[in-house]
Amino acid sequence: MNEFANSADAPSVDTVGIVRKTRRKRVTAIAGLAAALIVAGGGTALATAAANGSHAAKPAAATTTSTGNDATNVLLKGSKFPLEFAGLDLDFAKQLLLKGQLKLGTVSKVDCGKNGKPGSVHSVDPHSPKTVSIGATINLTLCAG
C-alpha cells in the first residue's frame, strides 16, 4: 500500500505493546487492592488487640450445616442442606414437605412440657443423618398443649 503515489503510509498498530500495557495496568490494580486489604486487615487486627487488651484470642465455635436438632431435620439424597421442621406448625410443615416433594405420613402428638410451643413440630421420622429419596413418606410428631 505504501508503493502507490500520493498515498499515506499504512498505519501500524503495536498490539503487543497494547496487550502489555493492559496487562501491566491490571497487575498493578490487583497488587494495589491486595496491599489495601492487607493494610486494612492489619489495622483491624491492631484495633481489635487494642480494644481487647492483651487477652489471648479464643477459637471460633465449630459450625455444621445443621442448625437445629437432628430429630427435626430431613436430609434428601443429593442435597447438602437438610429440611428443618423445628418449630413449624402443621401448615408450614406440609408446605415444606411439598417443596421437598415428600409425602405426609402419620401426624401424632406428644407432651413437650414447657419446652415446645403447642402445635409445633417436635420430631420427624425418618430424620437426619438418614437420607430419604424424593417421594418418601415423613411422619411428624407435634407438641401437644
Is the predicted pLDDT of residue 68 greater than 60, yes or no? no
| Residue 92 phi, psi dihedral angles, 5° rounding | -70, -35
11-15, 85-89, 119-123, 137-141: the lowest-pLDDT one: 11-15
For range 4-17, the mean pLDDT: 70
- Tell me what pLDDT residue 22 has: 82
Nearest Cα to Cα of residue 90 among 108, 115, 64, 102: 108
pLDDT-based confidence at residue 62 (cuts at 50, 70, 90):
very low
Pick the residue with more confidence: 133 or 58? 133
